[in-house]
Structure 1
Amino acid sequence: MSDEKLIIYQVFTRLFGNNNNHCINNGSITENGCGKMADFTAKALGEIKKLGATHIWYTGIIEHATQTDYRRYNIRPDHPAIVKGKAGSPYAIKDYYDVDPDLAKDVPERMREFENLVQRTHRSGLKVIIDFVPNHVARQYHSDMQPDGTSQLGANDDTDYAFSPYNNFYYIPQSELHGQFDMKGAAAEPYKEFPAKATGNNRFDAYPNINDWYETVKLNYGVDYQNGGTCHFNPIPDTWNKMLDILMFWAEKHIDGFRCDMAEMVPVEFWEWAIPQVKAKYPALLFIAEVYNPKEYGNYLFRGKFDYLYDKVGLYDTLRAIVCGNESATAITRAWQSLGGIEKRMLNFLENHDEQRIASDFFASNPRKAIPALIVSACMNVNPMMIYFGQEFGELGMDSEGFSGRDGRTTIFDYWSVDTIRRWRNGGKFDGKMLTDNQKHLYGIYQRILTLCNEEKAISQGDFFDLMYANINGWRFNEHKQYTFLRKYGRDLLLFVVNFDHISADLAINIPSHAFDFLQIPQMEQYRAVDLLTGKEENISLLPYKATEISVEGYSGKILKIKL
C-alpha cells in the first residue's frame, strides 16, 4: 500500500465524450452518437487530475454484447432479444480479449487506441483501472481475438451434464431456453438456445425473467450449486486457467488495477489461486472487489488477496440514510466499528454506475445535502475514495434514456450524453463557460475536499479518533445531525465537524482526555485554527474539561487544522 490516498474517478467511457444535446429515447448510435477513448485528451485527463483524482476507472472497455451492427469488421452480431438497450450492458462480455468497438474512432485500430489511452493517462499522472467481469458472459459469447493456442469458452463442454467440473458453463440438459421476456426483440426470428445455459445471477432453469440477468450466462468455476454447492477444485477447473489468461492479457497492457465485478459470486478459492500469480508478475497491480456480504469480507481480503472491497452495505447505505433524514449520524460510528479493523481496506463512495445519483429525486434531490457525507466518506480514514463522473457537478440522473428508464441513474445500456459532463467539456475546451454558478460552486467544494486528501498527510496517512461517544446527549450538539472526529499526523491535528442539518449550528464539542492521551495533543486554552475548506482562521480551545466551540453552516462542514 502506498502513502498516497487513492481517489478513483469512475467514468462511463462511452458517455464521457458524447456532445449530442438532443439524444432521443432508445436512440441508435447513429441517432444519439457515442463518446470515444480519443475524447480523453491530455487536456481532459489533466482536468480530471486537477479534481484530485489519482486513478481513473474506465468503465465498459472490454467488448460486450450490443445491438449495433459491426459485421463489416468481422464482429458477430448479437440477437437483440438478449441485449439490454441499444448499446448493451458492459457487464455482458462478448469477447474478453477485445476492446468495445463503440469506443474506437477507427474500429480496426481499437486495441491500439486503448493502448494509447493507457499511455496518455499515465503521462497525465493518473493510473488506469478497468473492469474484470468474472462471473458471467453474454449469452452469445464469442471471441474473435482469442490468442492462438487458447480455446473458446464452452468449446469443449459436454452439454449432456448440468454440471461438470470440466465445463465452462452450466446447462439445463434437453431444455430449450424459454425466457419470460421478449425472445424476439427487434429480430425477425426469436432467439434460440439449446440446451439452455444457466443465467448469470445463479438461475439454474430455462425460464429467466425480465428481472434476471437474462442477457448473461453463468461461468462454472467448479461449484455444483444444485448439489449443495460441492466444490471440485482439484484438478484446477478449465475456467480458472482461462480466466487467469485473461487477467494476464490485460495486465500486460500496463493497466494499474482491476475492479472485479460481483467478485463474491466467484469462489474465493479462485482468487486465492489467481491473484498471487498475477501479482508475482505485476506486484503493483490493484484488485478491487465488488462485494455486498459483510460475512465474506475477511475471506475475500485475507484468503482471496484483494486489496480493497466496496463499502456499500456499511458506510454507503449509512450515509445515504443520514442524508435522506432516515438515520442518525451516530450510525457512522457503528458502520466503521462493525468492520473490525479492516476499514483501511474498504473503498468508499457516494455514487457509482449501480447507485442512484445524489441529486436525483430518488436520493437527496439536492447535491449540496451530501457535502457532509462527502467529507466523512473522503476524509475519515486512509482508504480509497471513489466518485462517479458528473457527481462533482450535481448530475441529476433523471433522464429517461431508453432501456434505462427514469430511475435516478445514468444509463449503462443506452447511447446517451450526460448534461453536466457535456457542459464541463464544452467541446473539449473545459473553460467552464457552459456550467451554471451552482455547478461551479459544487465542483469547487469537491475539488477542495478531494485534493486535501493527498495534500494533508493527516488524511492520507494519519490516525483517526471518533469523538462521538463523548458528545452523545450533548448540551449544544445534536448527535443525530452532526458528526465529529479527529485526524492527526506528526504535529498536524485536524478537527472535522459536519452538519447534516439544513440550518447552521453553534456547537460545543467535548474532546475527552482519552483523545489527548491517544493522539498526544498538548492541552491549550487557545489554538489558532485554519478551516481548510475556506481558508478562514479562528481561535479554538483544546481542553478535556471545557467544550470546544465551533459554528457550522447547514449541509456543510469544517476541517480545522491546528499546528501543535
Structure 2
Amino acid sequence: MRKLTTILTLGLAGSLLLACSPAPEPTITAKSVDAAADSTAAQQHDASGKVVLYQVFTRLFGNTNTSNTPWGTLEQNGVGKFADFTPQALSAIKAMGVSHIWYTGVPHHALVRDYTAYGISHDDPDVIKGRAGSPYAVKDYYNVNPDLATDPANRLAEFEALIARTHQHDMKVLIDIVPNHVARQYQSLANPTGVSDFGANDDTSVEYARDNNFYYVPGSAFAVPAWPDSYKVLGGDTHPAADGTFAENPAKWTGNGSRATQPAFDDWYETVKINYGVKPDGSYDFASLPSDYADKDWRAHYAFWQDKEVPDSWLKFRDITQYWLAKGVDGFRYDMAEMVPVEFWSYLNSHIKQTNPNAFLLAEVYQPHLYRDYIRLGKMDYLYDKVEFYDNLKLVMQGKGPTSALVETQQRMADIEHHMLHFLENHDEQRIAAPEFAGDARKGKPAMVVSATISTSPTMLYFGQDVGEPGDGDAGFGKASRTTIFDYWGVPQHQKWMNNGKFDGAALDSESLALHHYYKKLLSFTANAPALMGDYVELHSVNLAAGTSYSEQQLAFARYNEQQKLIIASHFNSDSSVSFALTLPAELISQWQLADGQYPLSDKLNGGENTLQVASGVGTVAVQLAPLASVILELQ
C-alpha cells in the first residue's frame, strides 16, 4: 500500500519509512534469529512448477467505459463488477499459467456514493482519498464493496459466486486483509453473532487500554488536514459533506501512527490505527514469543497461544479471517504487515493454518532485516521481494544498475528465497511502460524472465502488465505512472485485451498482442517446469570474468533437478544484439553427469535448437540474443 506520497514516522515504537530510505531498528518485533526457514510453504505446492499469482484490481478489471474524466463519478467513468469475471475471462487468466488470483479491493471500504437504500451509511469525502476510495480504508470486514455488485443488496452472494467460478477454473482466491488500520468511520452491517465492531467497546477516556481497538487523544477532537493549495476534495466538486469537517471526538491516532489531532495531508488521514496491545511507549501487553519458535511449525505456534490471553484486536482479526475461509477464500494478502507485531502474526497465521493448512499467506514487508522474523516467527508463507530483488531489477531495466546486483541478492537471500514473492508491477509500483519507469513495456521481457525463473518463489503478474499498460492520465487523487487505486477509471490497454468480453486481445496493436503472448508462454512454462523448483547455479561470475562479449547487461544461470535441466540467459540492452560463448563450469557439468561431447538443447521460450559442447569437463553454449531477448534452453 502506498498512501500517495510518504509513509511518516510511526507513533508506536520504532519508525517505518519508504523502501527507498534507510530503515531504523524497530522495537515492535521479536528479536532476530538465524534458524532455518520453515519449509511448510514449499511443501504446499506441486513440485512440477511454480505458483503464478495474478493480481487484479477488481474495481477496474471489467470496466469498459473509456471516458476517464479526472475525479469522475461512477456514472461518468464506469466501474467493474464481480460479474465481469466471466468464464471467458477466467479461462484467459488461467491460460497464462495462473494458479492464484488476488482480487484486490474486495472488502467494503469507504467511498463517495449513496448506498443508504441498502442500509449503508454515508462516508465523508473529507476523510476519503479519491472518489471511489482507498481499498485500504476498510469500513466493513464482513461484507464487500457495493460498487462491485450488479445488485448491491446481493453483493456478498455475488462475491461468493465469483469464488466458486474461480475454483471451477482451478485457481485459488486471495483477498486483502489490512491489519494495521481501518476507515475512520468503521461500521459493519453483517457482524456474526457475538462479534462487535472495532471500537464499539473501547474506553475512550484513556489513550491506551489493552483491549481497546484504537488509540485516543482524550479531550481533543479530530480535525481534517490542512489541504495544500494544489488539492481540493473531490477535485472541487460540490458535495454536502465536503465541508472541511469530520466528527470524531476524542480524536483517534491516524493509521500511520500519527498522534496529531489534525494529521498532515501526507499522513494516512483516512484511516485510524489498530491497537494490538503495544503500549504508547512501545512495550508489549501480551506474551512474548520465544525465539526458538522460529524452528517450530504452525502447529506448535497454535498450541503456544491456546492458554494465553490476547488483546481484543487479535480476536477480531482471527474471527474476520475465519469468516472468509468459511466462504471459500484460499488465502490473504496482508497490507503493511511490518507495522503489526510478529507475535500477532504467529497467532493469526497459526489459527488460519489450523483451519486450512494450505492457505496462501502473503505479506507486505519492506524492511529486509525483518524478513526472516516475519517468515519464521510470524509464519508467513511469502513476503514481497521489493526492497531487495525488485529494486535492483528496476535499476537494471532502467540502465542504471548492474546485473551483478541480482546475483548478489539471490545469494544473500538463499535461505529464504522460496518465501520472497517476485513481481515487476503491482498497484503501488509504477507501470513499466510509464516514462517515469522504463518508458517501454518491452523492457519488462528480460526482467520477467529473470524474475520468474531465478528462484523457487511465486511470480506475480499485475493485470495490464502483459499488454503494456502505461498507467498514464491524471485520474484525480491518483497520479500518472501508477494505475489509480482511488478513482473510477478505465485501463485502456487492458480494455483492448478484454475486447468487449472476448478476452482475445484482438483490439490490441500487434506489438502489444505479441507482448501478451510472450508473457503467456513464459508464465505457462514456469508453472509446469519442475527444474524451477530445484537447484540454482549462477553462471554470471565465470562468464563476466571470461573477457567475452558477456557483460553487466546480461544475466545467465542454470536451474535443474532430476527431471529437467535448464540454461537461462537474458539480455537487457534495448538497442543492440549480443553474441557470446556461455561457459558452464566444471562443477555444474559434474553435477549434471555429462561426459565430453555434444548435447542438444531446446529453446522453450522462442522455439529452435542449440547445442551444449562439453570438452575437458567444461560446457560451452553459443548464445545469440537480440535486443531485450532471452533464451530458456532445456537439455534434451
Do the two structures share a fold, i.e. TM-score over 0.5? yes
1:168-247 correspondence to structure 2 within 5 Å: 168-182=213-227, 185=233, 186=239, 187=241, 189=243, 190-224=245-279, 226-233=280-287, 235-247=309-321
Q: How many Å separate the matches in 2 of 1:458 and 1:188?
A: 57
Segment of structure 1 superposing worse, 169-178 or 71-80: 169-178
Segment of structure 1 superposing worse, 450-459 or 52-61: 450-459
Letter in 1 for 2:57: F
Instruction: Give the structure 2 partner of residue 353 of structure 1.
Output: 427
State the Cα deviation string for residues 425-464 of structure 1 (Å, max 9, x = none): 11111233211101111011101110011232112x2221
Instruction: Give the structure 2 partner of residue 418 of structure 1.
Output: 491
SS at match of 2:391: helix
Tell me whether 1:57 sits opposite 2:102 in the alignment.
yes
1:475, 1:508 within 8 Å by CA — same for their partners in 2? Answer: no
SS at match of 2:102: strand
Letter in 2 for 1:122: H
Shift of 1:478: 3.4
Q: How many Å separate the matches in 1 of 2:390 and 2:216?
A: 37
Segment of structure 1 superposing worse, 175-184 or 275-284: 175-184
2:50, 2:529 within 8 Å by CA — same for their partners in 1? Answer: no
Tell me whether 1:84 sits opposite 2:129 in the alignment.
yes
Counterpart of 2:584 (choices 493, 511, 528) is 511
Tell me whether 1:20 sits opposite 2:65 in the alignment.
yes
Letter in 2 for 1:335: T
State the Cα deviation string for residues 126-148 of structure 1 (Å, max 9, x = none): 11111111110000111111112
1:135, 1:266 within 8 Å by CA — same for their partners in 2? Answer: yes
Q: How many Å separate the matches in 1 of 2:98 and 2:549?
A: 34
Structure 1 residues without counterparts, runs of 5 or longer: none
Instruction: Give the structure 1 partner of residue 157 of structure 2.
Output: 112
State the Cα deviation string for residues 400-428 of structure 1 (Å, max 9, x = none): 1111122x000000001111121111111
Shift of 1:546: 6.0
Letter in 1 for 2:126: A
Instruction: Give the structure 2 partner of residue 333 of structure 1.
Output: 407
SS at match of 1:549: strand
Segment of structure 1 superposing worse, 181-190 or 306-315: 181-190
Letter in 2 for 1:511: L
2:452, 2:459 within 8 Å by CA — same for their partners in 1? Answer: yes
Segment of structure 1 superposing worse, 101-110 or 142-151: 142-151
Shift of 1:182: 4.2
Instruction: Give the structure 2 partner of residue 30 of structure 1.
Output: 75
1:96, 1:143 within 8 Å by CA — same for their partners in 2? Answer: yes
Q: How many Å separate the matches in 1 of 2:242 and 2:314?
A: 38
Counterpart of 1:302 (choices 339, 362, 376) is 376
SS at match of 2:276: coil
Between the two proteins, the alignment pairs up a number of residues equal to 559
Counterpart of 2:166 (choices 121, 128, 132) is 121
Return the structure number with greater relative CO, CA threshold 8 A, min gap 6. 2
Counterpart of 1:2 (choices 24, 37, 45) is 45
Structure 2 residues without counterparts, runs of 5 or longer: 1-43, 234-238, 288-307
Q: How many Å separate the matches in 1 of 2:325 and 2:387?
A: 30
Q: How many Å separate the matches in 1 of 2:471 and 2:614?
A: 44
Letter in 2 for 1:227: D
Q: How many Å separate the matches in 2 of 1:445 and 1:436?
A: 14
1:398-477 correspondence to structure 2 within 5 Å: 398-406=472-480, 408-459=481-532, 461-477=533-549
Q: How many Å separate the matches in 1 of 2:475 and 2:550?
A: 42
Q: How many Å separate the matches in 1 of 2:173 and 2:619?
A: 48
Q: How many Å separate the matches in 2 of 1:228 and 1:85?
A: 33
Q: How many Å separate the matches in 2 of 1:339 and 1:172?
A: 42
Q: How many Å separate the matches in 2 of 1:238 and 1:215?
A: 23
Counterpart of 2:567 (choices 471, 481, 495) is 495
Tell me whether 1:250 sits opposite 2:324 in the alignment.
yes
TM-score w.r.t. the length of structure 2 is 0.86
State the Cα deviation string for residues 509-550 of structure 1 (Å, max 9, x = none): 222112223x33404332211111121112231344464321
Tell me whether 1:482 sits opposite 2:554 in the alignment.
yes
Q: How many Å separate the matches in 2 of 1:94 and 1:521?
A: 60
2:125, 2:242 within 8 Å by CA — same for their partners in 1? Answer: no
Q: How many Å separate the matches in 2 of 1:458 and 1:545?
A: 21
1:34, 1:416 within 8 Å by CA — same for their partners in 2? Answer: yes
Q: How many Å separate the matches in 1 of 2:62 and 2:433?
A: 22
Shift of 1:202: 1.4
SS at match of 2:584: coil
Q: How many Å separate the matches in 1 of 2:361 and 2:444?
A: 28
2:578, 2:624 within 8 Å by CA — same for their partners in 1? Answer: yes
Instruction: Give the structure 2 partner of residue 520 of structure 1.
Output: 592
Q: How many Å separate the matches in 2 of 1:165 and 1:535?
A: 62
Shift of 1:491: 4.9
Shift of 1:298: 1.1
Tell me whether 1:533 sits opposite 2:605 in the alignment.
yes
Shift of 1:230: 3.7
2:225, 2:269 within 8 Å by CA — same for their partners in 1? Answer: no
Tell me whether 1:275 sits opposite 2:320 in the alignment.
no
SS at match of 1:15: helix
Q: How many Å separate the matches in 2 of 1:340 and 1:431?
A: 39
RMSD value, Cα = 1.6
Shift of 1:179: 3.5
SS at match of 1:146: coil
TM-score w.r.t. the length of structure 1 is 0.96
Segment of structure 1 superposing worse, 504-513 or 440-449: 504-513
